[in-house]
A and B are shown apart, each in its own frame.
Chain A
Amino acid sequence: MNKIVIENLTLQYTDGTESLRNINLGICEKAITVLFGPAGGGKSSLLRCLNRLNDMADVKFASGRILLDGIDILSPKTDVITLRRKVGMVFARPVVLPFSIRGNLTYGLEVMGEKRRSKLDQAVERSLKQAALWDEVKDRLDDQAIALSGGQQQRLCLARSLALEPEVILLDEPTSGLDPISTAKVEASLQELKKNYTVILVPHSVQQAARTADYAAFFLQGELIEYGQGKTLFTTPQDKRTENYVTGRFG
């Protein structure tokens, strides 16, 4: 079952350069789909289309549709606020807001208007457990979030998105600044999360892509070259360019 269907998506910047060219892609629900490829391929741009974060940049959509549960989220009538709660995002560098740990986690709910202490506390505990951070910070929830280590901050960012109970989680090179242990923790969390959420990941290395992907899509210079199951795409790629990238002949 496809959670998201991308149809003929072409993305242009206001200065005319193209970022994505005619992408057709289906994202399977409750699985990890990996978008990988060399820099400049358009993967981050595609991610930012999925939660309409591109509205903030100098982007103008040229054409195409993105269907989330059958509804086009690129249409002007879309309620982007609700969309962004449904489709959460974790960025490459952990960006903690200048609040306490608790404050970071409840931010998304508070801007929704949620004031009930009990609901907020529940969300805090639930999301921290899902991000495998609960045990480490449960005694210092009111400390400033900036005091956490890099790996902890990134898991906090993941928890922050999870607090809103999204349906889709987007991760843009989430472990690029982290040490191997933190990276492993994040990847383990993703394996747990995919049981309940649709996960779309832009990895920072081909190895990470191969480790985590249930499905994988290879992007090169704005085009989707190949799409397939994780098990087979990395071992027996169909397209020559995919093979060259996966085996390290360029990148």
Chain B
Amino acid sequence: MKTIFPIHRNLSQQLGFGLLTAMTLATVLPIIAVIAYIIVQGAPAISPEFLTRVPNNGMRNGGIMPAIVGTLYLTFGTAIFSVPLGVAAAIYLSEYAADTWLTRIIRIAIINLAGIPSVVYGLFGLGLFVLFLQFGTSILAASLTLSIMTLPVIISTSEEALRAVPQSFRTVSISLGATRWQTIRRIVLPEALPGIITGVILGLERAAGETAPILFTGAAFFLPRLPGSPFDATMALPYHLFVISTQIPEMPFQIQYGTALVLIAFVLGMNLIATVIRSRARARRQW
């Protein structure tokens, strides 16, 4: 009889392994169940109309197109601010920073940014972008808020990708008369790019699914038109799901599940792209 672990006479080991197996199954199976359930319940709602039409009858009918578009705008807006800043910060930490107390403080700051509750980001965004800078409830304010929230993820994964590039490349480049920036631009950055892109996608995926930071900074429940400028508010998928599942009486279940399905399809789709990029890059690496 074959088992995945060798049969030992030691009873406590067998019990222990059995317990751990059970725990893992209890963790993993619900994940599959959850996703499968949403797919099954939500699939009937998915149709071209659902994805391209505007909602009506208090959201109980029609489609969720504005929410989809809004999420795309917000994701794009987050990328514009967080990617350049995050990657630049990662380059600084990996290629320029010395091991001083200042660098250590920067790292602590990044860890802290990563741990701040999303609703506190919402408060901050409200205080700074909406009110103080007077951007109002807008795509701009929401994107900026989401960008700062996404920054730590992008910085950490990008720094890791940069550090993974062998030091010997840098040494050789310098010995041939290149400057530090030339070395980064021609060798280190291109080689680290797949890892950086993976990190960026994972960070943006998280931003796309967040509700609390956009609650007071950019999300609106129903807008008659699509947003025309960054200073307009927008609908967004996570916020839409929140409202239709908690605030609307007699909301058809199918539409709720359909919205949830679209949201997780968006998020998991990005995850899939990131994973594919990561494994293809690993296969092609010359080091």
Chain A residues close to B by CB (< 8 Å): 51, 53, 56, 81-82, 84-85, 88-89, 91, 93, 95, 97-98, 107-108, 110-112, 144, 146, 157, 160-161, 164
Instruction: Return chain A residues, CB-CB under 8 Å to B175.
Output: 51, 53, 84, 88-89, 91, 161
**How would residues 162 to 180 of chain B score, 1 for a CB under 8 Å from any chain A CB and 0 otherwise?**
0000101111111111110
| Interface residues of A, dominant DSSP | helix
Instruction: Return chain A residues, CB-CB under 8 Å to B171.
Output: 53, 56, 91, 95
Chain A residue nearest to B187 (CB atoms) is A97
CA–CA, A164 and B173, complex, Å: 13
Asked if B191 is at the interface (CB within 8 A of a chain A CB), the reply is: yes
CA–CA, A112 and B177, complex, Å: 8
Q: Tell whether, in the assembled complex, residue B177 and residue A85 are in contact, meaning their CB atoms are under 8 Å apart.
A: yes
A-B contacts, CB under 8 A, total: 64
- Smallest beta-carbon distance A144→chain B, Å: 7
- Smallest beta-carbon distance B26→chain A, Å: 45
Chain B residue nearest to A85 (CB atoms) is B177
- Smallest beta-carbon distance A125→chain B, Å: 18
- Smallest beta-carbon distance A112→chain B, Å: 7
Partner among B176, B178, B191 whose Cβ is within 8 Å of the Cβ of A98:
B191
- Smallest beta-carbon distance B181→chain A, Å: 10
What would be 11 A-B contacts, judged by CB atoms less than 8 Å apart? A53-B175, A84-B174, A85-B176, A88-B176, A91-B172, A95-B166, A98-B169, A98-B187, A98-B190, A112-B177, A164-B176
Partner among B168, B173, B286 whose Cβ is within 8 Å of the Cβ of A107:
B173
Q: Tell whether, in the assembled complex, residue A111 and residue B169 are in contact, meaning their CB atoms are under 8 Å apart.
A: no
Partner among A53, A112, A161 whose Cβ is within 8 Å of the Cβ of B174:
A53
Name, among B172, B175, B179, B191, the residue most crowded by chain A CB atoms within 10 Å (CB to CB): B175
- For the complex of A and B, list the 3 residue pairs with the smallest distance between their C-beta atoms, beginning with the closest: A108-B176, A85-B177, A111-B178
Chain A residue nearest to B176 (CB atoms) is A108
Asked if B21 is at the interface (CB within 8 A of a chain A CB), the reply is: no
Q: Tell whether, in the assembled complex, residue B177 and residue A81 are in contact, meaning their CB atoms are under 8 Å apart.
A: yes
Q: Which residues of chain B from 134 to 176 have a CB within 8 Å of any chain A CB? A: 166, 168-176
Asked if B182 is at the interface (CB within 8 A of a chain A CB), the reply is: yes
- Smallest beta-carbon distance A105→chain B, Å: 10
Q: Tell whether, in the assembled complex, residue A108 and residue B168 are in contact, meaning their CB atoms are under 8 Å apart.
A: no
- Smallest beta-carbon distance B146→chain A, Å: 35
Instruction: Return chain B residues, CB-CB under 8 Å to A95.
Output: 166, 168-169, 171-172
Chain B residues close to A by CB (< 8 Å): 166, 168-179, 182, 186-187, 190-191, 286-287
Instruction: Return chain A residues, CB-CB under 8 Å to B187.
Output: 97-98
Instruction: Return chain B residues, CB-CB under 8 Å to A160.
Output: 176
CA–CA, A213 and B84, complex, Å: 53
The answer to whether A164 and B168 touch (CB under 8 A), given A98-B286, A98-B287, A111-B186, is no
- Smallest beta-carbon distance B121→chain A, Å: 39
- Smallest beta-carbon distance A110→chain B, Å: 8
Partner among A98, A146, A157, A164 whose Cβ is within 8 Å of the Cβ of B177:
A164
The answer to whether A84 and B169 touch (CB under 8 A), given A107-B186, A111-B186, A146-B286, is no
Instruction: Return chain A residues, CB-CB under 8 Å to B178.
Output: 81, 107-108, 111
Q: Tell whether, in the assembled complex, residue B286 and residue A111 are in contact, meaning their CB atoms are under 8 Å apart.
A: no
Chain B residue nearest to A103 (CB atoms) is B186
- Smallest beta-carbon distance B128→chain A, Å: 41
- Smallest beta-carbon distance B112→chain A, Å: 30
Q: Tell whether, in the assembled complex, residue B168 and residue A93 are in contact, meaning their CB atoms are under 8 Å apart.
A: yes
Instruction: Return chain A residues, CB-CB under 8 Å to B172.
Output: 91, 95, 97, 157
Instruction: Return chain B residues, CB-CB under 8 Å to A110.
Output: 186
Chain A residue nearest to B170 (CB atoms) is A56
Chain A residue nearest to B172 (CB atoms) is A95
Instruction: Return chain B residues, CB-CB under 8 Å to A84.
Output: 174-177
Instruction: Return chain A residues, CB-CB under 8 Å to B169.
Output: 95, 97-98
Instruction: Return chain B residues, CB-CB under 8 Å to A107.
Output: 173, 176, 178, 186
Instruction: Return chain A residues, CB-CB under 8 Å to B186.
Output: 107, 110-111
Q: Tell whether, in the assembled complex, residue A144 and residue B176 are in contact, meaning their CB atoms are under 8 Å apart.
A: no
- Smallest beta-carbon distance A51→chain B, Å: 6
Name, among B173, B190, B191, the residue most crowded by chain A CB atoms within 10 Å (CB to CB): B173
CA–CA, A85 and B174, complex, Å: 10
Instruction: Return chain A residues, CB-CB under 8 Å to B182.
Output: 111
CA–CA, A108 and B174, complex, Å: 9
Instruction: Return chain A residues, CB-CB under 8 Å to B168.
Output: 91, 93, 95
Chain B residue nearest to A86 (CB atoms) is B177
Chain B residue nearest to A55 (CB atoms) is B174
Chain B residue nearest to A87 (CB atoms) is B175
CA–CA, A72 and B286, complex, Å: 39
CA–CA, A51 and B171, complex, Å: 12
Chain B residue nearest to A81 (CB atoms) is B177
Name, among B169, B177, B186, the residue most crowded by chain A CB atoms within 10 Å (CB to CB): B177
